[in-house]
């Protein structure tokens, strides 16, 4: 089979396709009635729900902490305040970054040239991994919020040693994940273990497209 | 300023005259009828959403190929949420092929299968080539140089030919 045979074969199938299409009219009116998607409706319900819960958490806990700091500062453990404030701050930053990225993805112009648009959209989708990286930075905070000054006495050395080991381990894991969760590591087992499930498939799909574009550019 | 009714008429006219592009792209990127229908609808929605940005500096077919290919490459399977927002297309549209001799039908299936094995970017290139687009048009649609179109297409054609050859065809 040579080049012309392949072309003829394709044309043949197109002729048949034209015949079938001519006999069918598409109801374009229905399409034009479809609402143009807004940010929230374009998201999967589970993501929209998570986002709303995150916002409630940031606003609720943030306000509670602000009240504690202003009116009861002396009575509250500094470890609790620091851990909770940092956690709220990281969650808030992650939410803002996420909303901004979704907004940028929704604004992408599909009539741009294929490689330009695909590179842009793939990079943007993959960058939503940054939100996960930010959220992992919270890990050590969950090992410090319950501490208070009274616990730091010599009698508690075993407990404190254990606490130190746990906090350092969580910090190490959090920082390591922060620097290593990137699409270049998508074939690693640990990456596939963390980034698995249906929700992550579009990001993996984008990573695959980006890889193909990079390979394509490499041989230009 | 174009009003909604005029925009709708323009949209219907474009879809009516160029629906072949949508189906050919869907055929290239999706293996089953459900996905094809979903993809065609996704493309139509994106055309409707982008219509107000269309200007005459590009040929309409170039603009349509860009949108269709961009949607097809980004298209990631259907999901329950999107399914609820889709409108069923006429059932007859599922029939992409009419009766043909067994041998020709087999060759067509093989061609479709070999194309489906290509990566997303190569699929777009071979589709545009088979649709007899010039290298300049392909370059404009894809955002690559004309020389590069030739080089890449040469490799893809070789790949397809060798697949047929392996089957002694």
What crossing angle do the helices spanning B135-142 and B146-166 adopt, rounded to 10°?
100
pLDDT cut 70: percent of chain B above it? 83
| pLDDT the model gives residue B92 | 46
pLDDT of res. B130: 93
Please list the pLDDT of chain A residue by residue as tens digits (220 residues): 777 888 888 887 777 777 666 666 666 666 766 655 555 555 667 778 888 999 999 999 999 999 999 999 989 999 999 999 999 999 999 999 988 888 888 888 899 999 999 999 888 888 888 889 999 999 999 999 999 888 888 888 999 999 999 999 999 999 999 999 988 888 899 998 888 777 788 888 888 888 888 888 776 6
Give the structural domain span for A110. 37-218
| B109 CB within 8 Å of a chain A CB | no
pLDDT mean across residues, chain B:
83
Residue A37 DSSP label: P
pLDDT at B40 over 80: yes
Supply the pLDDT for residue A167.
96
In a domain, A138, yes or no: yes
pLDDT at position B168 is 67
Q: Where are the alpha helices (DSSP H) in A107-218?
A: 114-126, 129-136, 157-180, 189-194, 201-218
How confident is the model at residue A26, as a pLDDT? 62
Within a domain: A8: no
DSSP A3-34: HHHHHHHHHHHHHHHHHHHHT----HHHHHHS
The residue-averaged pLDDT of B2-7 equals 80
Identify the pLDDT of residue A194.
87
What pLDDT score was predicted for residue B166? Answer: 83
φ, ψ of residue B17 to 5 degrees: the values are -80, -25
What is the nearest CA distance from A73 to chain B, expressed in angstroms? 47
- In this prediction, residue A44 carries a pLDDT of 67
Per-residue model confidence (pLDDT) at position A123 = 87
Residue B10 to residue A208: CA distance in whole angstroms: 36
Give me the percent of chain B exceeding a pLDDT of 90.
41
Residue A196 lies in a domain: yes
User: 3.40.50.300, 3.40.1550.10, 1.10.10.10, 3.30.420.40: which CATH number matches B98-169?
Assistant: 1.10.10.10
In a domain, A52, yes or no: yes
What's the pLDDT score for residue A198?
Answer: 74
Provide the pLDDT for residue B98. Answer: 46
Q: Which of residues 10-69 of B touch A (CB under 8 A)?
A: 11-12, 15-16, 19-20, 23-24, 27, 41, 44-46, 48-50, 53-54, 63, 66-67, 69
**How close A95 gets to chain B, by Cα (Å)?**
22
Written as six digits, the tokens of A34 are 């479809």
Residue B94 clears pLDDT 50, i.e. is over it: no
On the question of pLDDT at B7 being above 70, the answer is: yes
**Among A122-136, A165-179, B45-59, B71-85, the range of highest mean pLDDT:** A165-179
DSSP-based three-state secondary structure for B95: coil
Question: Structurally, how many domains does chain A consist of?
Answer: 1
Q: Is residue A205 part of a domain?
A: yes
Within-domain flag for A150: yes
Quick one: average pLDDT of B125-148? 94
Q: Is B132 left (phi over 0), alpha (psi -120 to 50) or beta?
A: left
Q: Where are the beta strands (DSSP E) in A25-122?
A: none
Give the residue from A19, A26, A44, A197 with the most B CB atoms within 10 Å of its CB, the best one to mutate: A26
Of B70, B142, B143, the CB nearest to A110: B70
Is A31 domain-assigned?
no
Q: Is A24 part of any domain?
A: no
Q: Range(s) for CATH 1.10.1740.10 in chain B?
A: 1-96
What stretch(es) of chain B map to CATH 1.10.10.10? 98-169
Q: Flag whether pLDDT at B31 surpasses 60.
A: yes
Domain B1-96 classified CATH 1.10.1740.10?
A: yes
């Amino acid at each position: 089979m040579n080049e012309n045979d392949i072309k003829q074969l394709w044309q043949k199938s197109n002729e048949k396709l034209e015949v079938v299409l001519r006999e069918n009219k598409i109801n374009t009116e229905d399409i034009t009635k479809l609402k143009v998607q807004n940010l929230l409706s374009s998201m999967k319900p589970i993501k929209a729900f998570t986002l709303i819960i995150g916002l409630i958490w940031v606003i609720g806990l943030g306000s509670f902490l602000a009240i504690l700091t202003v009116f009861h500062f002396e009575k509250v453990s500094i470890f609790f305040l620091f851990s909770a404030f940092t956690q709220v701050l990281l969650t808030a930053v992650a939410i803002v970054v996420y909303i901004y990225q979704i907004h940028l993805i929704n604004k992408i112009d599909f009539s741009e040239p294929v490689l330009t648009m695909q590179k842009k959209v793939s990079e943007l989708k993959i960058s939503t991994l940054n939100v996960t990286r930010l959220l992992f930075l919270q890990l050590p905070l969950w090992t410090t919020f319950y501490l208070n000054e009274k616990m730091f006495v010599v009698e508690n050395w075993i407990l404190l040693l254990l606490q130190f080991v746990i906090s350092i381990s969580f910090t190490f894991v959090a920082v390591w994940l922060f620097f290593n969760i990137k699409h270049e590591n998508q074939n690693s087992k640990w990456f596939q273990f963390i980034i698995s499930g249906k929700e992550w498939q579009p990001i993996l799909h984008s990573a695959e497209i980006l890889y193909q574009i990079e390979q394509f550019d490499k041989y230009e | 300023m174009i009003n909604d009714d005029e925009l709708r008429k323009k949209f219907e006219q474009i879809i009516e005259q160029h629906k072949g592009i949508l189906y050919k792209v869907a055929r290239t990127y999706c293996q089953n009828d459900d996905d094809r229908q979903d993809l065609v609808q996704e493309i139509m929605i994106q055309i409707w959403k982008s219509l107000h940005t269309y200007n005459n500096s590009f040929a309409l077919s170039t603009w349509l190929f860009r949108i269709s290919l961009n949607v097809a490459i980004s298209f990631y399977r259907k999901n329950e949420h999107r399914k609820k927002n889709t409108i069923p297309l006429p059932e007859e549209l599922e029939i992409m092929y009419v009766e043909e001799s067994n041998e020709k039908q087999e060759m067509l299936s093989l061609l479709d299968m070999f194309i489906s094995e290509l990566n997303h970017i190569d699929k777009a290139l071979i589709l545009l080539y088979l649709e007899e687009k010039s290298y300049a048009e392909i370059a404009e649609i894809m955002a690559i140089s004309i020389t590069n179109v030739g080089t890449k297409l040469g490799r893809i054609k070789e790949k397809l030919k060798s697949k047929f050859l392996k089957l002694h065809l």
